[in-house]
Homo-oligomer: A and B are copies of this chain.
């Protein structure tokens, strides 16, 4: 698969916003089993090898897991403060968990685990996220090792189908839509902001 045409715009935005540590923070929207939307900040962890799929990490105990079982479609909203531009990436999520059989995907899961900081790995040994905090119980289990991937650790891959790029700095603003075709090529259209 070749690099999608919106990839260079994201690379450019990442470069120009690199002084902001949080320029890799994006908001991931999913749909809950009750049909309501959910929205949270996640960290962009790069693209998966030579694909156009965005990499995130998540905990198997987190609520987004049950969201994506029923509705795998998601939308990432990525705002770059310095260059004042927004990307909306709409696509399917794929979960790579302990239960994933595919060897290539398990290799990705192990590699992503090893690439994490100690602090990021430690979060997967914390007490159940979202449940009432028990100040008398131990919150942190034993610190996980670099080689032994904790069962709770998952990789999320997002495969964009449409991308909407809005640049607020134009006069008027510029907005470009990218739509993936069945042959995996992309059609690019300038639209009204």
With known contacts A81-B22, A192-B139, A36–B130 Cβ distance under 8 A: no
With known contacts A36-B73, A37-B31, A172-B126, A133–B86 Cβ distance under 8 A: no
Chain B CB within 10 Å, residue with most, of A20, A38, A123, A190: A38
Partner of A27, one of B77, B129, B189, B192: B77
A134 to B67, CA, bound (A): 39
Complex contact A192–B74 (CB within 8 A): no
Partner of A191, one of B79, B90, B132: B132
With known contacts A81-B22, A130-B191, A76–B172 Cβ distance under 8 A: no
Chain B residues near A20 (CB-CB < 8 A): 81
Asked if A4 CB lies within 8 Å of chain B CBs, one says no
Complex contact B25–A79 (CB within 8 A): yes
Complex contact B39–A86 (CB within 8 A): no
Contacts of A151-193 to chain B: CB distance below 8 A: 172, 175, 189-193
A28 to B120, CA, bound (A): 27
Partner of A192, one of B22, B28, B81, B129: B129
Binding site for B on A (CB under 8 A): 20, 22, 25, 27-31, 35-41, 71, 73-77, 79, 81, 86, 88, 90, 123, 126-133, 139-140, 172, 175, 189-193
